[in-house]
Structure formats: structure tokens, C-alpha cells
Amino acid sequence: MDNKLKLDIYKKIILSRRLEEKIAELIKAGQVGGYMHPGVGQETLQVAAIATLRPGDYMLYAHRGVAYWVARGIPIEKVLCDLAGREGGTNHGKGGVMHVVYPELGVLGQSGTLGGCFPIAAGAGLSIKVKHEDKVVLCFFGDGTSNRGTFHESLNFCAVRKLPVVFLCENNGWAVSTSTEKSTAVKDIADRRHGYAMPGKTFDGNDVEQVFDAVSEAVKHARAGNGPSLLEAKTYRLWGHWIGDPDSYRSREEVEKHWRRDPIPIYERKLMDEKVLVESAKAEIDADARAQIDRALEFMQNQPSPNPESALDGLYA
């Protein structure tokens, strides 16, 4: 990782965190509706993983936060418009913030049902293979989602067909209110790779370099035609499952312990130690993120609601 990349990742992480803070503020103030599943605590891993992709690659994001979209370069005003159910976003109020989509950047959309992503990722991998394209698919999912039957079917299918798909589990320890220990037979999700004879590993998802290296390796493996991988990034969900979640099922001690491991200040210190980031630049990056968000918010507020009758449009091609 060169310094430019390190700094670029940092800027996107900061923008993501600030944007989620703003979204939480808007939702709590009743200024926008909709469900938002925040990714606070997982931004670094999401941004670092996406930094391994090339422009033509495909991505299926998980339903946790804005960082996937920020990382891939989707304009944030579009994300806010989708959140608010206005025009000017990516899906004209049809799918809201759960179905942000951007074909030009390989962002294929999202399955609202958890685990629906796996077969879609397999199909995108199939396209790449049949058309002999130099592309890969990066498919994010959570630890809870790895218990869907589609996980098993799709990983086996991809392994048998040697499809260029990287399955990346963000193991944050919780599926809504159910802890991973209570829902999942294995301690490490990546252990399940043995059932599909594919490579993979478990690593610290809060460490940018570990994430970048592991995903790079899996992407390289897929690009070379060697098939899928199953990766697992250990992380933690610092906020509730959705904005408004009473979060009554976890101890405050547990959550506070993980706040002390918040990957953003850790990465920040590392960059400062390496002299990649200096105090003045840090302040500028933060101010720039806030300014971008203010502009995006203003854009969103000036967008109209969709025409009600457009609810009937766009079902068939």
C-alpha cells in the first residue's frame, strides 16, 4: 500500500463515519424515514476491501452502512436521496437505501432478504467466466447471513464451477440481537471453506493492512481463474442493528470495550506515526467531509419526491 492509497482510504473512512452520524441525526429528528442499518465500526474494513477492486469489477454490499458506496465512488447525495425516498438518487424511491445501485461502478444492488446475495454473486461470476472477462465479484455478508442455505449452495456452486467470486464475511459478533456463539456452530466462519475446498482465512477486520492484503490475495486468485475464496474479517458492530435499535441485548461493558478498539482512531494513529497524516491535514479532511455532506444534504433537500404514479412504472423492461 502506498501513501496515496492509505490516505485515500482514510478520507473515505472519515466521510463514511461523518455521513452515518449525519444520517442518524436526520432519522432521530424525524427528518427522513426509512430503515438504515449503520456500519459504524466496520467502515475501515469495507473501504480497505473495496480498495482492492478495479473499475470493472462487481460488488455486492451487505446491509451495513454507507462505506461500501463511498468507497466505490457513488456520489453521497444520491445515497441521501435514496434514504429520503426522493428523486436524484439511484432508484427513484423504489428501493430506498436498502437497494442503492450503480451499474457504472459494478454495484449490482442488494438483496433485501439476507443471503439472497450469494446466488446473485455466483451468477455475476458465471457471466465473467462465460464471457472470458478480466473481472471479479466481491460479495460482502455478515456472520448471521452465513447460516442461510443459499450460502452453502452458492459457495459449492462457485467452487465446482471455479467462479471468480470473493466471499468476504464481516463477522461483527451479532445478528440483530443474537450473538454468533448462539447462532453459529463454528467459531470462525472462514472454517467453512473446508466444506467447499476453497482457500481463505480469518483476520483482524479492524486492521486496514490485514484486510487489504487478504482481499488482494483472494482477488488475485480469482482473477487468475483459480476460483472463489472465503474470507472472514473479525470486527464489531459499534451501533445497534438499525438506527433506533434500543440495543438492550448487549452489555454496555462489551460495547464500551469495543469502542476502545474503534478502528478509525487506531488507523489515524498509525498514519500519523508513519507521517502519512499530519494534524493539520486531519482537520482539513474532517472539514472537507462535513462540507461534502452539507452540500449533499442541500442537494437532497432540493430534490422532489417521485411522482406518486411512478409507483406503477419500471416493473418490466
Partner 1 sequence: MRTITYAQAIKEALEEEMRRDPSVVLYGEDVANFGGIFQITSGLQEQFGEDRVFDTPISENALVGAAVGAAITGLRPVVELQFADFLFTTGDEIVLKAGMWRYVHGGAYKVPMVVRCPSGAAGVGPEHGQCPEAFFMHSPGLRIVSPSTPADAKGLLKSAIRDDNPVLYFEHKLLYATKGEVPEDPDFLVPLGKAAVRREGDALTLVAISAMVPKALKVAERLAKEGHHIEVIDPRSLNPFDRPAIIESVKKTGKIVVAEESYKTLGVGAEIGAMLMEEALEYLDRPLKRVAMPDVPIPTAAVLEQFVIPNEEKIYAACRELLA
Footprint of partner 1 (CB under 8 A) = 58, 89-95, 99, 101-103, 108-109, 111-113, 116, 118-131, 149-150, 153-154, 156-157, 160-161, 313-317
- Beta-ladder partners of 171: 234
Q: What minimum distance in Å lies between the beta carbon of 202 and partner 1?
A: 24
Backbone angles phi and psi of 8, in degrees to 5 = -60, -45
Nearest distance in Å: CB 284, partner 1 = 35
Query: Which three cell numbers, joined as nine digits, stand for 235?
Result: 470486527
Instruction: For residue 1, give every residue at least 6 positions away whose Cβ sits within 8 Å of its Cβ, in sequence order, or none.
Output: 208, 209, 212
* Measured CA distances, 285 to 13, 40, 236, 245, 281 (Å): 10, 18, 25, 30, 6
Check: CB of residue 313 under 8 Å from CB of residue 43.
no
Give the contacts of 119 (CB within 8 A, at least 6 positions apart).
150, 153, 154, 157
Comparing CB distances to partner 1, the nearer of 2 and 316 is: 316
Closer CB to partner 1, 29 or 317, in the complex: 317
In the complex, minimum distance from the CB of residue 27 to partner 1, in angstroms, rounded to a whole number: 21
Q: How far is the CB of 74 from partner 1 (least distance, A)?
A: 12
Contact predicate 148/139, CB 8 Å: no
- Compare residues 223 and 290 and give the one whose CB is closer to partner 1: 223
Q: Considering the complex, state which of residue 153 and residue 204 has its C-beta at the smaller distance from partner 1.
A: 153
Judge whether 142 and 175 are in contact, CB under 8 Å. yes
Query: Whose Cβ is closer to partner 1: residue 10's or residue 157's?
Result: 157
Cα–chain center distance at 66: 7
CB of 190 to partner 1, least distance (A): 20
Are 61 and 107 a contacting pair, CB within 8 Å? Answer: yes
To partner 1, the closest distance from the beta carbon of 206 in angstroms equals: 30
**Nearest residue (CB) to partner 1, 64 versus 92:** 92
